[in-house]
Structure 1
Amino acid sequence: MTPDSVASDLLPVRRVLPNGLRLGYIQLPVGSQAAALVRVHAGAHDTPSEYPGLAHFLEHLLFLGSQAYAATDSLMPFVQGRGGQLNASTRERHTDFFFQVATETFGEGLRRLLDMLARPLLDEAAQLREREVLQAEFLARGRDRETLCDAAIGTALSAAHPFAAFHAGNRDTLPVEAAAFQQALKGYHQRFYHTGQMELLVAAPCSIEQLLELLQCSECQLPVAPAVARPLAPLRADDGAVLHLEVDGARPCLNLAFALDGLPDQACVALDVLGAWLASQASGSLSAVLRETCWCDALALRVPYWHDGQGVVVIEAQLTEQGMADRAEVVAAVRSWLQFMTLQAPWAELWDEYVQIRQRGLLGKEPLALLRYWIDPAAWAPSIATDRVRQALQALGTQITEAKPIVLTVDGVGGNQCASIASTQTGFALRLAPERWPVAGDRAWQWRLAARNRWLSAHARPRVAPVAVPALCWLEHDDDSRGQGALYLRWQFATDRPPAGLWHALHAALQVHIVAAVQAGVELRFDDLGSSWSLMLFGYAEALPLVLQDLLDVLKAPPIEAFDNGQRLLGEATAPGANELLIRQLLRRLPMLVEPAAVEDHAVPDQPALERVWQGAPWDALAVGLPAHLSGPLQDVLAAMPGRSELPVERQTGHPLRYQWSRFGNPGVETALVLFCPLPVRSAAVEAAWRQLARLMEGSFFRRLRSELQLGYAVFCGFRQLGERSGIIFAVQSPSASAAEILGHMEVFLESFAASLETPSADLLQVLCAGESANGLSRDLRRRAEAVWQARLAGCDAEHPAAVAAAIATVDVVDVRLQLRSLRAAEGGWHVVANADAPDGRWQQR
């Protein structure tokens, strides 16, 4: 498939059904998964002002059962039990609900989705429990840098606008016990959850006639009503502002925010154009210039609010020490660049590369990602009026140029230098103060468009060649790969790990190329797996050898400044920060921690150290789905790869520690704990039983620890592979429980779940049977490639995933019960990482 054929294959067919529901449909090839997304055109800004958070609260409640499906058989446990994915999101003026599953179970999922939206139970006892979940989420958001930045920006608006109000919701704003609140909750649902305010998008390998027939069933019937007109308050920041915000653990950053209003319809697309060019880190880009001046490590465009031609647009710069001192110069440079890009840049070149980027990006998207792209008003489509986008970009530029921005500096200096503001307006305690802004120097910036991304247009010279590299496993993909391919490389380290800062140095050097690869339709990932490094390229197959070729010089000899960055980034990685949820930080560290303790080289990362690492590092590779004419170009690149080509050998790991505890960070307002239980034996039969066990436990664990015990809103379990080891993860972040209490709840859950397996319920047996297809060998290229690569990382051959899929069909309750006993006995070891010390002497703390 060529990128320019995306219009006919991946563009949704849209129609309005007789009941007023807007429908978009994409027919996918046989073998694809299926996805659905419902957008309700109402959100946080549409709730009664006396009940902040009501829209978000209702989003949570809808998952707790409906008239046709009890809570234990509702959409969430149904999708979780079948290996799918689902979520929901409440924004300012819309709320989205979405899921993706195997095609054979899609109809049952769609029935559950539409029934829960139309006929929720809204049980008051369940509301009381779920309110505690929102309270925990509110407490976490009160320490999140991005949330606090948006709240601080809201304080600088000139007129009352919902953006400046509190919408998160908490225990105080959701008086479940009050009759007036219940009336408001049901009134909001009745006002907005109907066909006039809803939009349904589906991507599935079936005909639209089959979909329309499914929508006729009773569970899929939605209330019918006309669209609701909603007023729009003016959005202004007439005088701008210069503010300083302190957030514990935050790294220095600068937010340059603009309040925009009265823009034409295509302004959201124009903003997407601007964002695509802002993301570029190529020569001549804004990122490259600010990096060369040692002011900034990274740039991003955020749009925390956008609706009907008005919005808040934020340029966020991660500052260096020098950039912190020269913030006025940074602001002047960014504003100068914005003026150039919106009012002076050559439109034809700007638009042409943007269209190429969007075409490439669409080719590799999964069904759900496709729907989330097309539901956005900023989505590019082949039919879009180019001239109108250009005019909208100029209107955007005029407002940005003439406006007084809100300039917000954020850091984690501490010491309460800023006064704390606990206002009803923001709902969060802000350590915020006005700041005196220095005058910027009179520097004349000479901007130009960033260098073109050659991966969008260049092609590897095709050549079919026999696979002659022993360390390369080449797998053809039988099904329609839609032009996609996957390529994996691994460098193994036997006894001595490389200097810790080296991986960070290479990762920093690759950042420039990660953005360019994404824009060319290729996902680039470079992972530290503890005893090995892994490079992954997935996406537009024709570009993969080209991208890998251009990465060779970076891998062999990164820029000298990358080594300094590596040391700094290593320090940041080993200390928790406010930029990311704590539990995600723990999960990211786990792969290094579960590997056997090897001797770690503490040498300063530099070019000689990197060369020593490459000299002793054997590599192996996997290519999946690439057409035969790329076999020659790919092997040419691999021949120049650093390290030496060598078939992987099974690593002798020795007997694992049974109970291992790693501490990351210090006890704080919240406690996060992740327990990883690796497989005791890596055989197809054991892995199959553990995968089924994880699927059986996922919904029950979530329900027990999140809904019933109300430990927090970040609660999950599931089967995962961390580096070279697979197993089951249990994770909780809680504002109320200690690490010892969280671990205790996990162990009690495992005990009670083991008891439930002695006399399994019909629901549990149904999930076990459904898992046979959900866990089967996927025909999706990405899932198949990932399964084979994980098998190779674990020392298994390429046939291992097929063997697991076959074994899953034979797993019964007796097998699951036996493996749960093995898990509880820690036969494969238990590895905990938490922001607290081990609670007792059975743990060996690292």
Structure 2
Amino acid sequence: MQLSTNDKRTYLHITLANGLRVLLVNDIECRKSAAAACIQAGHFDDPNHIPGLAHLLEHMLFNGSETYPDADNLDKYLSPHSGSANAWTGTEFSNYHFDVEHSHFVEGLQRFADMLFKPLFTQAAIEKEINAIDAEFKLKIHDDLRRLYQVHKETCNPDHPFSKFSVGNQQTFSTHSLQTIQDALIDLHNRHYIANNMALCIVSNMTLDEQKRCIKEVFSAFPSGDEFKRPNLPPLYLPEQLGVKININPIKDARRLIVSFALPDMQLYNESKPLEFISHLLGDEGNGSLLNHYKRLNWATNLSAGGGINGNGFKDFNVNLQLTKFGEDNISGILNSLFYYIKLIAEQGLEKWRVKEKAILGKLAFEHIENAKPLDDATQFSNLMFHYKETEILSGDYLITDYSFHPIKACLLLMSPENMRMKLISKDLQTDKITRWYETPYAIEPIDQQLLTALASPSVVDDLHLPLPNPYITESCTLESINQEYLLPSKILHDQNLQVWFAQDAQFNQPKGDCFISFDCEAVTQGIKVSAYKRLWVALMVEHLNDQFYHAGVAGLHYHLYAHQGGFSIHTNGFSHNQLELSLNILKQVMADVDLQPLFEQVKQKQLKNLQNSLLNKPINRLFARLSGLIQRFTYAPLELLPIIESATIEDIYWLKAELFKNYSVEAFVFGNWTTEQSIQFAKRLNEMPKPRLSMPQIKREVVDLKNAIHYENQVSSQHPDSAVVLYLQTPSAETKDVALTILVEQLLASPFFHEIRNEKQIGYLVGSGYLPLNQHPGMVFYAQSPNFSAKQILLEIKHFLFEITSSIDDYQEVWSHVRTSVSKQLEGSDTNLTAKAQKFWLAIGNQDLEFNLQKAIADALFALTFDDIKNFCQKLIAPADVGTLVLFCCGDKNEVDDIPAQGTVINDLTAFKQHATYVV
């Protein structure tokens, strides 16, 4: 097996006697152990008369097995031990995965195996899960991606399994008896859920020998079956479904053009990756690129190339454009430019240096890959075992080993007008059809033959040319020596308005790093107008920077400019070579007087569209956005920002920029593969930048103090039919003990809340809870979204749960210490990768945790708690004088104006509420 030179893990690939293929991964540094099983079975294998059966089968596996008959037994076992389990069903594969503390992994595996091979399929559970799937279906009815996907299904070959309705709902299942569905589930399971049709991956701190013994003990007894080979499928598209234009009306305000080319299975080209080469050129954003050309003509604001559905025998290659109104009226010009650029690639782009450049980028990404979470790696590797040889499971997605041009030419030949499907998405389009399941208006018609003929010989576009060699690519990635004095952040410069911190990484041994430069600007205290203009200014600067530094990102030098409550930040990360120079160059551009007029109208319209569309988000998303805007002093809801941005002028943006740079302070942090000398030199150059008129301290990140009221409530308007509730409970203080109690109690309640509200009460598909610190002030949330229950009913059920579990908290006396140990291990566990470690240090600097031991302090506080502390804290959750309570709700199509009884303070005016609120840090 080909390994990265920086990969510290060890691997073993084995095949059990029953045909089960297993990849064992020993990672002595991983926080938790994880397992994932990939099965060659998906919705393509649904019987034609029961669409959605494979999806239902996925749900059923979590509803009890022969040895562990209780529903949700796996989740109930895992959750007290920092564990979780989940699954997905795709077109041709399904994947089941879980993680848990190392000490509970073996029993977790036993339960996992029993779940996979010996499910019960009781009719009572089938009926319950059909309701859950129906709620999931209803949740997605107003999701534009799902609605677009259904149009795709209804405009392809009806004999191809992709055309099937894959989700299932009450309607598809109710036409059959429970006995019929039960028999079909058993048959589908017996045919596909067999050892030799499965790939398993384990990531654990157990030695490979220990893992091998464990896997043999747990999985060897399960049966093989008849080897499954997917039959040859018919063509994905019929001849009349190519060379077509498909008009689609979205729900959100969107203008998009998706040009798709129908290609064969790309598995044959794993070693050459021709589509990655082509998308690398089509998706370029530098001078001479397609996107640059489209922006200049005001035709499009964004372009991505690649992606598209793929499977056994088929592959779509997509060019996806976000259009302007002017672009929507100039589709033929957009297409001419696209096909001219494809012609440029075919005639001028097949040069060895270009292929080598792409191969170098792949090799650098592979050699310096940072490990993901064990659960993510196990899930990915188990899936890759079906697509790559044993030796290529780790490297196959990255390395180009075949430099020949033939695969690229073969793909480019298929990127022809006749082989194109053009999807135009806009509310303004004429349609004459409605999809069956998601009621999406659409129309399909052949593209005019005259246009197809013209596109076959596209007109010359003078300002289009292929990119030059990338100046940011380097193959010399050396590691600097470690200075033990700088393993924790230390201040290397302290000036009137500038503080610079530095630390080295001695854990990951990567030639990478992160650099943060954050501005706190006094102007943000002026209120919402500054916040709205700042959002627009940052968006304009991102567009401006992209023209100059796009190729840095391609080469692994990533940069981000983003707004925050106190001002804005620049964050660069990736390879350390040249990164500090990049940070300084970006800073110079940000501080310079830049002409943003040419970009203004296009960027403003894009921001307006984003804000308007956010009002159409799922109710739960709307409620969480409102929560942030209500509680945090200098954060505002999209509804408040919209009218200000709508009336903004370029003069307002120039005014804003001047205000930001009047009075400010800067804090910077350099972390990773740099020497002390390099970092000090960087700090000196930062200090040479223009100074503000006045220096000022960091802006306080304050939150509204919700205590001393019965509760606050705020109704959020929504155009989605579902109702939803978010109950936010604000912890009395930000003291370490209260933080520890909030984290622990939320973890203790999370699993029973999900089980009660989603599985037992069946309120809806979107149900959950979470620890939610706003500006580091602790709190927790309980939320649910429902297609059937009113907001009032949802809130009553949430409150009933809290009351009942508080009354019966003694039942958790045995399990709470396990949860405490689990949470403590998470807090004190090692960082998963270099950027995660950088973010942790940066957060500590911002919170003035200058001993960098807050997580340890919380862990220590956890072990100082008694069960009486837990009981007393739980009592506070239902005692509003002690815990601040905010109820946010959407009524959906229930439209009950008095849905939530006004028991406390009703917030009608967001601005007035925040102006008169009391704040705490």
- Quote how far apart the aligned CAs of 1:695 are: 1.0
The residue type equivalent to 2:474 in the other structure is S
- What count of residue pairs does the alignment treat as equivalent? 839
Matches within 5 A, 1:241-256: 241-256=244-259
Q: Deviations over 1:723-754 (max 9, x none)?
A: 44442232323222333333332222221221
Contact 2:520 2:568 in 1 (8 A): yes
Say which SS state the counterpart of residue 236 (structure 2) adopts.
Answer: coil
Q: Distance in 1 between matches of 2:78 and 2:582?
A: 36
Partner of 2:239 in structure 1? 238
1:60 alignment partner in structure 2 = 59
Alignment of 1:78-157 (within 5 A): 78-84=77-83, 86-157=85-156
Cα distance in structure 2, aligned partners of 1:821 and 1:527: 40
Deviation at 1:366, TM superposition (A): 0.9
Q: Paired residue for 2:526, among 487, 491, 496?
A: 496
Contact 2:731-2:777 within 8 A present in 1 as well: yes
Note if contact 2:253-2:609 (Cα within 8 Å) is conserved in structure 1.
Answer: no
Q: Is the CA contact 2:43–2:52 (under 8 Å) kept in the aligned structure 1?
A: yes
**Structure 2 CA distance for aligned equivalents of residues 672 and 654 of structure 1:** 23
Cα distance in 2 for residues equivalent to 1:507 and 1:663 = 30
Deviates more, 1:674-683 or 1:104-113: 104-113
Assess, with a 3 A threshold, how the Cα gap between structure 1 residues 455 and 96 changes in structure 2: closer, same or farther.
farther
* Greater CA drift, 193-202 or 97-106: 97-106
Q: Match of 1:689, SS?
A: helix
Asked whether 1:258 is paired with 2:261, we answer yes
Match of residue 567 from structure 1: 604
Determine if the alignment matches structure 1 residue 583 to structure 2 residue 635.
Answer: no
Aligned amino acid, residue 608 of structure 1? W
Q: Which residue of structure 1 lines up, in the alignment, with residue 751 of structure 2?
A: 699
Asked if structure 1 preserves the Cα contact closer than 8 Å seen for 2:31 and 2:826, the reply is: no
What amino acid is aligned across from residue 233 of structure 1 in structure 2?
P
Question: Compared with structure 1, are the counterparts of its residues 19 and 551 closer, same or farther at alpha carbon in structure 2 (3 Å cutoff)?
Answer: farther
Match of 1:608 in 2: 655
Partner of 2:885: 830
Secondary structure of 1:432's counterpart equals strand
Contact 1:263 1:392 in 2 (8 A): no
* Contact 2:248 2:440 (C-alpha < 8 Å) held by counterparts: yes
Mapping of 1:745-756 within 5 angstroms?
A: 745-756=797-808
Decide which of 853, 858, 862 is 1:808's aligned counterpart. 862
Which residues in structure 2 correspond to 1:448-487 (within 5 Å)? 448-457=465-474, 467-470=491-494, 471-477=499-505, 479-480=507-508, 482-487=510-515
Asked if 2 retains the 8 angstrom alpha-carbon contact of 1:505 and 1:564, the reply is no
> How far off is 1:66 after superposition?
3.0
Residue identity in the other structure for 2:743 = R
Equivalent pair of 2:563/2:569 in contact (CA under 8 Å): yes
CA RMSD across the alignment: 3.8
SS at match of 1:780: coil
- 5+ residue gaps, structure 2, are 389-393, 892-896, 911-921
Question: In the alignment, does 2:411 pair up with 1:411?
Answer: no
User: In the aligned structure 1, how far is the partner of 2:686 from the partner of 2:104?
Assistant: 42
Distance 1:73 1:643 in 2: 60
Counterpart selection for 2:318 from 281, 294, 314: 314
Contact (CA 8 Å) 2:537, 2:657: kept in 1 or not?
no
Change in CA separation of 1:334 and 1:584 when aligned onto 2, cut-off 3 Å = farther
Query: Is 1:38–1:201's contact at 8 Å kept on the other side of the alignment?
Result: yes
Deviations 1:768-822 (A, max 9, x none): 4433323434343555544444455455443222211222233343222333333
Instruction: State how far apart, in whole Å, the 2-side matches of 1:641 and 1:577 are.
Output: 38
Shift of 1:52: 0.7
**Equivalent residue of 2:50, what SS?**
coil
Q: Of 812, 830, 833, which aligns to 1:778?
A: 830
Give the C-alpha shift of residue 832 in structure 1. Answer: 4.7
Unaligned runs of 5+ in 1: none
Partner of 2:459: 443
Flag the 1:766–1:108 CA change in 2: closer, same or farther, 3 A: same
> What amino acid is the match of 1:443?
S
1:96 Cα shift?
1.7
Contact 1:132 1:171 in 2 (8 A): yes
Deviation at residue 209 of structure 1 after TM alignment: 1.7
Which residue identity is paired with 1:474?
Answer: F
Alignment partner of 2:679 out of 590, 609, 631: 631
- Superposed, 1:709-788 pairs within 5 Å as 709-760=761-812, 762-763=814-815, 766-781=818-833, 782-788=835-841
Task: Assess if the C-alpha contact under 8 Å between 2:728 and 2:887 holds in 1.
Answer: yes
- For residue 620 of structure 1, the aligned residue among 667, 673, 682 is 667
Contact 2:359–2:399 (CA<8 Å) still a contact in 1? no
Higher-Rg structure is 2
Distance 1:799 1:571, change over 3 A: same
Match of 2:915 in 1: none
- List aligned pairs for 1:475-554, cutoff 5 A: 475-477=503-505, 479-480=507-508, 482-493=510-521, 495-497=525-527, 498-507=530-539, 509-510=541-542, 513=546, 519-521=554-556, 524=559, 526-542=561-577, 544-554=579-589
Distance 1:337 1:13 in 2: 45
Kindly provide the amino acid, as one letter, of the partner of residue 88 in structure 1: A
Mean Cα deviation higher: 588-597 or 193-202: 588-597
Residues 36-45 or 793-802, more deviating: 793-802
**Greater CA drift, 502-511 or 402-411:** 502-511
Distance 1:671 1:410, change over 3 A: farther
Distance 1:53 1:335, change over 3 A: farther
Identify the residue that residue 413 of structure 2 maps to in structure 1.
398
User: What's the offset of the Cα at 1:331?
Assistant: 2.6
C-alpha distance 59-213 of structure 1, shift in aligned 2 (>3 A): same
- 2:209 is matched with 209
Give the drift of 1:298. Answer: 1.7
Residue 683 (structure 1) aligned to one of 735, 752, 761? 735
Give the secondary structure class of the aligned counterpart of 2:286.
coil
What percent identity do the matched residue pairs reach?
Answer: 20
Residue pair 2:308, 2:316 contacting (<8 A) in 1 also? yes
Alpha carbons of structure 1 residues 536 and 103: separation in structure 2 relative to 1, 3 Å = farther
Could you tell me how far 1:500 is from its partner in structure 2? 0.8
Give yes or no for contact 1:11–1:381 (8 Å, CA) kept in 2. Answer: no
CA deviation after TM superposition for structure 1 residue 93, in Å: 0.7
Question: Residues 215, 683 of structure 1: CA spacing in aligned structure 2 closer, same or farther, 3 A cutoff?
Answer: same
Q: Secondary structure at the match of 1:615?
A: coil
Q: Distance in 1 between matches of 2:32 and 2:470?
A: 32
What is the distance in 2 between the residues matched to 1:7 and 1:788? 23
From the superposition, tell whether residues 145 and 400 of structure 1 become closer, same or farther in structure 2 (CA, over 3 Å). Answer: same
**Residue 661 of structure 2: SS of its match in structure 1?**
helix
- State the match for 2:917 in structure 1: none
Q: Relative to structure 1, is the Cα distance of residues 411 and 784 closer, same or farther in structure 2, using a 3 angstrom cutoff?
A: same
The farther-off stretch of 206-215 and 184-193 is: 206-215
For 1:640 and 1:840, the matched residues in 2 are separated by 59
Q: Distance in 2 between matches of 1:98 and 1:642?
A: 53
Do the aligned residues in 2 keep the contact of 1:81 with 1:771 (CA within 8 Å)? no
TM-superposed CA distance for 1:48, in Å, is 0.9
Alpha carbons 2:521, 2:661 under 8 Å: kept: no
TM-score, scaled to structure 1: 0.88
Change (3 A) 1:324 1:613: same
Q: Which residue of 1 aligns with 2:195?
A: 195
Provide the rounded CA distance (Å) in 2 between the counterparts of 1:773 and 1:337.
54
1:839 to 900, 910, 913: 900
